[in-house]
Structure 1
Amino acid sequence: MNSNRNPTRRPFLPALGTVLLVACTGAAQAANFTMYRDPSCGCCEAWAAHMRHGEKHEVETIDHPDMASVKTGNGVPDDLRSCHTMIADGYVIEGHVPAADVERLLAERSDWVQGLAVAGMPLGSPGMEAGGRVQPYEVIAFGNGRREVFASYP
């Protein structure tokens, strides 16, 4: 485990009847991610495909009937919530965050960041490309009562 990470950050993994362990074994190998989604949401699978790009990341998808509990348990602020929540090497990734931003977060290992979020479901964000329309959006880093714009898109 990287010493620059906040050792008190513990992701909430909802009870699913089995224990699920997710590990990142190093920069040279693919990172493993677990994405929780509402079973009725279709864009989540498109976002998971974006995260798998080139099979660099393995994304396990878990349909969960109570996404509010997943988000609350992982400290996602109400105003930053979206349709799916991913745990990536101890960080919370909420919504349609681009893969490049997740990779940057994992490389930088900020002490204060608990996760990244794209609130809502902005058109043109990864997984929401259908129709060719694009809305501007921001990726917000959050944690320890703090927020910062991590990245901005048109």
Structure 2
Amino acid sequence: MQRRQWLQAAALTLVSGTLLQKTVLAQVTTVEVWKDPNCGCCQLWVEHLQAHGFKVNVRDVGNTAARQRLGMPEKWGSCHTATVGGYVIEGHVPAADIRRLLKERPVALGLSVPGMPIGSPGMDGPEYKGRKDAFDVLLVQKDGSAKSFQAYPAKSRMV
């Protein structure tokens, strides 16, 4: 009987520890962001990440130097650059794709949404009247090549 109680306690401890570890990791996922202090769409992207459970540290110093230092090719550039979990995030990448990246952990430099596609997080304000252009989230390799990580189709404008 004593052995059975010990095994039950050990199993409960293991399960509790695993759940606690997952909860703590989810709560402490911090994103470091470099952006222009006057960029509204960058701030909206930061708010998108916060709304999806990320802690965000913002550096309002522009992102060009950070992008170069982190090795993100200019051709995949956008208006803000970030790091999370050892990856570089460039542009208006949806929080769900960052979570997927962190879960799957592919060998890569990071993710990019080049340019500023309308309808992407931060570029989806009321002034766009529901317009959503098609865009791809790119998985950028360390050699600078990229492939689609997630495709988002265009959606018709709601009048």
Length-normalised TM-score, structure 1: 0.77
Partner of 2:97: 101
Question: Match for 1:116 among 105, 111, 115?
Answer: 111
Question: Match for 2:58 among 58, 61, 66?
Answer: 61
Q: Following the alignment from structure 1 to structure 2, what is the Cα–Cα distance between the partners of residues 142 and 119?
A: 11
Q: How far apart are 1:135 and its partner, in Å?
A: 0.9
Greater relative CO (CA pairs within 8 A, separation 6+):
1
- Could you tell me which runs of 5 or more consecutive residues in structure 1 were left unpaired when the two chains were aligned: 1-25
Q: How far apart are 1:76 and its partner, in Å?
A: 1.0
Partner of 1:77: 73
Partner of 1:47: 45
Q: How far apart are 1:144 and its partner, in Å?
A: 2.4
- After superposition, give the CA deviation of every residue in 1:65-94 in whole Å (9 maximum; x if it has no partner): 4x2111111111111100001111111000
Q: SS of the counterpart of 2:23?
A: coil
Q: How far apart are 1:28 and its partner, in Å?
A: 2.0
Which letter does structure 2 place at the counterpart of 1:59? V
Which letter does structure 2 place at the counterpart of 1:52? Q
Partner of 2:131: 133
Partner of 1:153: 152
**Which segments of structure 1 move beyond 4 Å, counting only runs of 4 or more?**
none
Length-normalised TM-score, structure 2: 0.75
Aligned residues: 126
- Could you tell me which runs of 5 or more consecutive residues in structure 2 were left unpaired when the two chains were aligned: 1-20, 154-159
Q: SS of the counterpart of 1:70?
A: helix
Q: Following the alignment from structure 2 to structure 1, what is the Cα–Cα distance between the partners of residues 100 and 121?
A: 16
Q: Following the alignment from structure 2 to structure 1, what is the Cα–Cα distance between the partners of residues 119 and 136?
A: 12
Q: Following the alignment from structure 1 to structure 2, what is the Cα–Cα distance between the partners of residues 47 and 95?
A: 9
Identity %: 40
